[in-house]
Structure 1
Amino acid sequence: MYAVVRLNTWDVAKRAAAADDVAEFDRIHAEQPGFIGSLVVDVGTGRNAIVNLWVSEEDATEALPVVGPAVGRLLQPLMAEPSQLIGTGEVIQGAELVHDPA
């Protein structure tokens, strides 16, 4: 499994008003072969740490010609500053998600 980790800083008002654009981007992203899913963490002050998971580095790379323009069209106008790439690489450890119904 391969991960792409980014830090996005949003213009909170613009992002709140553009839920349809965010949903459209999520749909495009999810349609890419090899895309597993994303983990988004609210780290405060309009910032999200985002981990995108892919089956392989090749899948992530092959998706760039579709995902890149979608980011530019749908997400960049909502950002307070450019998205920051934190890093990419093979996932070497994971945790099983456990739901406690209590």
Structure 2
Amino acid sequence: MGTTPIRALLDDLPGDTHVVVLLRGRYSEGIAHLDEFERLVGKRHGLLHVLTGPREAVPLDAPALHTLVPDIADRDVFICGPDEFTRTLIAAARDSGVPARHIHHEDFAF
């Protein structure tokens, strides 16, 4: 669900944009377009992190973001997901030093 806008964004970004994509789901089988993400991110020589498991076991807080994307404070961050997920990730990005103007998000409800 939340992967669709991010997947479309990969098509729209300039070809020389270095991308780091984080996909989160309880199971990898539940992550939509995973094969396309692997292809598109690989084509750009970017990084794809597929994070699976319960939220408690696989947090996306500021320390986790710094581990996955050490230069996150220097990037634009695009977030798409359920309201609580989006709020949590916005806070983690801000705690990681990302300026508010560099955080872009799209919310959706189930």
The TM-score with structure 2 as length reference comes to 0.29
More strand by share: 1
The TM-score with structure 1 as length reference comes to 0.31
Question: Which structure is larger by alpha-carbon Rg, 1 or 2?
Answer: 1
Structure number with higher relative contact order (C-alpha < 8 Å, ≥ 6 residues apart): 1
